[in-house]
Amino acid sequence: MQQFHRLDETHDPALQSWVESANDPATDFPLQNLPFGRFRADERDGWHIGVAIGDQVLDLRRAGFIATDDMRVLMALDAAQRSALRLAISRALRPGAAERQVASALHAQRSVELGLPCDIGDYTDFYVGIHHAMSVGRQFRPDSPLLPNYKWMPIGYHGRASSIGVSGESFARPRGQTRAPDLEAPRMGPTQQLDYELEVGMFIGAPNPRGCAVDMAHAESHVFGLTLLNDWSARDIQRWEYQPLGPFLSKNFATTVSPWIVTLDALAPFRKPFVRPAGDPQPLPYLDANANRAAGAIDITLEVWLQSAKMRQADSPGELLSRGSFTDAYWTVAQLVAHHTVNGCNLRTADLLGSGTISGPAANQGGSLLELSQGGKRPVPLANGETRGFLEDGDSIILRGFCEGAGARRIGFGECRGTVLPAMAA
């Protein structure tokens, strides 16, 4: 089994880079991170594979590390090859390395366009945030917020990959059918309850053949890395359409991901034991493994910021709405892969798995406005005098994620930003 929580020389917190901005304690992209993404200089240019280092991006093909600009080829490498590539890039960016050989392949991030990190295949969204499931469940089923299957298997549904966009995008408020409780017939129009969902995305690297389940011992070797994900949701449309087959138009209009994929290798210093609460059932054997119990959880701090149009006009960076941790997920990355494939489903390179909304146990740690405002009944007060039950036109939601801990260099995911525009005319 590939042990992604093993530390090596690339994790040394004392490592410095000749790229000075990478040595800033506040940067998301020090030498210990090296996340992968795609960039281009202008719209006439093709996409290139890059690695973020400080405020720069390193063109891997131009620097001689790879021979292709096809991200899927890189993602499909086996775990050992990916680790070797990470080590080579790390060594080349350290002081005393052959700086001249790769310096010409650096671009300022502010001078290039960052795109989707890969051409995404299928998209599956899970529901692993138990505090979110409990909070939302109490709004609809006060006596039984969790359905009987929740603690036995990862719950998920298949989403829409075509409407996934990258950080910085804007999208129109979606339209759809809704029905008020006191009306017999539904209405058609823009959603009045637009929401965000704070999630972690998982990109598949090496595929598995159809009919061949991936066991827990090998599950993480099929994961290329993690990203931030906002699964925008129209709650009033969702409430009317979700029975009997689950969400449809309430979810497929927009999903936003951050442009960088942080590898499991980079996340090794931030592994934690995966422990079920006392009294909860232990996973069935196909979802259990000693390595997963010892270090299956990943300690990622997750934040949601809101910047309203009024804040933007005042040059305000926005306001922090909530902060939580990926350790609050009820199922691990390995368990999601094992469960997804146990029936013979073949995951393919660049498929995307979403964690579902990650919320903390406290009332102010909700990963959505549905929780923070209790379904719009208690609008969230903002420092500038505004309130939010659900999102308004002009609102930007910014997700941020980072890892920090004793004996490790802080690393981050960059931001995942999306802005709501007015609905299109009927």
Active-site positions read 132
| In contact, 51 and 34? CB cutoff 8 Å | yes
Beta-carbon count within 10 A of 151 CB: 17
* Spatial distance between the Cα atoms of 360 and 379, rounded to a whole number of angstroms: 19
Burial class (CB in 10 A: 0-12, 13-18, 19+), 309: middle
Closest CA to 225 of 384, 99, 51, 362: 51
* Spatial distance between the Cα atoms of 310 and 316, rounded to a whole number of angstroms: 9
| In contact, 369 and 388? CB cutoff 8 Å | yes
3-state helix, strand and coil shares in percent for the chain, rounded to the nearest 5: 20, 25, 50
DSSP-derived pairing of the beta strands 194-195 and 387-388: unpaired
What would the two tokens of residue 289 be? 């493994």
**Which residue matches tokens 């901005």?**
21
Amino acid at 10: T
Closest CA to 1 of 331, 296, 300: 296
- What per-residue string of b and e applies to 176-212 under the rule 16 or more CB within 10 Å gives b? bebeeeeeeeeeeebbebbbbbbbbbbbbbbbbeeee
